[in-house]
Amino acid sequence: MHATVSPLSPLAQSLGEIPPESIVFGRTEAMRSVRERLTKIASANVPVLIHGESGTGKDIIARMVHGLSPWKSGPLVKVNCPAIPGTLLESELFGYEKGAFTGAYGAKPGRVEMAHRGTLFLDEISELELGLQSKLLQLLQDGQFCRIGAQEDKKVEVRIVCATNRNLEVEIESGTFRQDLFYRINVVSLYLPPLRERRGDVEELVHYFLEYYNRKFNCRARALSSELMTVLQKYHWPGNIRELENLMKRYVILGNEEAIAGDLAPRQASFFNPDIDFDGPISLKKLTRQAVRELEGKIILKVLQANHWNRKKTARALNISYRALLYKIRDSGLPANRSARRPQPMVPQSVAAD
């Protein structure tokens, strides 16, 4: 049955462009648990760690934590950690004094100060460099920080909310995230399940985004056919709710199901399809090595693209050494960087039959 979109709840109205709570949390048990947990912890001045895959709605949950807290009248300051180069992130977070470095012609408050008596939302906290993690740890421990170039610490009252799509415990083991900082930010955690684990909410999300973007773009796109809705409910949604939202936005603008149907076709992995000469001896070990090499190359390429071709981050994400990654890149015939010429199709190296 078609579920009409209810008016925004008082909470959603107070936070601006946030869907109704019935849409955010849906009907699944996992999200009902998130809602109950959020309600309990929002009023307590403790750090909150929101984790889950990209596109699951961590930003919306962070804004809800702020909107339900006693500090909702204060500012909500978001810092997208990967979007700011490491050399600038410290000054963006903590500010600087006049003359602290070349070009510092005046003092500038950082976002920590801007969030005083409000909420500081650190999105993708795993991207913080170790030096900045130390300064954040001091802020969490005693509510104090120091501007770049300053001699004295400043004190602020701020609630810290962090989000990540990575497993921070794995990052700790690889030495890229401080264990003591993890314990400080993980006082309370909220896990957002991927959309493929809450398929029962897909139909209601579709109706919400359809009506929302019809209003926003002044369009009259019709409700989806039952056949396409069935496809949507079976789709694996690698991009989660963000992917579904973008899909519906495109449907509303273009106005026909054919415009999006191609994106929903089952994406069969192009697995290794060897040429086998049945007239001679067949080396299973040789064919297996070729298949592993081809599959490794495809995995490495996807992780490189996800990390904007930063090879050090890619090595950490794959849990292999930097030298091993460079070897595998060369062995797979992948380009050394994103600006390199598109490589020719990978041709398995000749391997002597065992």
Query: Same domain for 55 and 122?
Result: yes
Single out the residue of 173, 196, 176 nearest to residue 130, CA to CA: 176
Per residue in 127-154, is it b (16+ CB within 10 Å) or e — as a string?
Answer: bbeeebbebbbebbeeeebbbbeeeeeb
Name the least confident of 2-11, 56-65, 72-81, 163-172.
Answer: 2-11
User: Does any domain span residue 344?
Assistant: no
Using N-to-C axis directions, what is the helix angle for 311-318 and 284-306, rounded to 10°? 120
Same-domain check for residues 128 and 215: no
**Final residue of a structural domain among 157, 192, 227:** 192
Show the DSSP H helices in 72-191 as ranges: 86-94, 111-114, 130-142, 168-173, 179-185
Residues 227, 182 share a domain: no
CB 122 within 8 A of CB 159: no
Residue 154 DSSP SS3: strand
Structure confidence by residue, pLDDT tens digits, 60-101: 999 999 999 999 999 999 999 999 988 799 999 999 998 888
**160 belongs to a structural domain:** yes
In a domain, 17, yes or no: no
End-of-domain residue from the set 142, 163, 192: 192
Instruction: Mark whether 220 and 149 lie in a shared domain.
Output: no
Residues 226 and 122 in one domain: no
Per-residue pLDDT reduced to its tens digit, 218-271: 999 999 999 999 999 989 999 999 999 999 999 999 988 888 887 776 544 444
Residues 82 and 55 in one domain: yes
How confident is the model over 305-354, as pLDDT tens digits?
877 788 888 888 888 888 888 888 887 777 766 554 343 434 334 333 33
**Are the beta carbons of 7 and 21 closer than 8 angstroms?**
no
Q: Are residues 75 and 221 in the same domain?
A: no
Burial string for 13-52 (b: 16+ CB within 10 Å, else e) reads ebbeebbbbebbbbeeeebeebbeebeebbeeeebbbbbb
Give the chain's domain count: 2
Do 258 and 121 fall into the same domain? Answer: no
Q: What is the mean pLDDT of the chain?
A: 84
Last residue of a domain, one of 165, 192, 219: 192
| Residues shown for the chain | 354
- Residues spanned by the domain of 221: 203-264
Based on the domain organization, do 47 and 138 belong to the same domain?
A: yes
* 3-state percent helix, strand, coil for the chain, nearest multiple of 5: 50, 10, 40
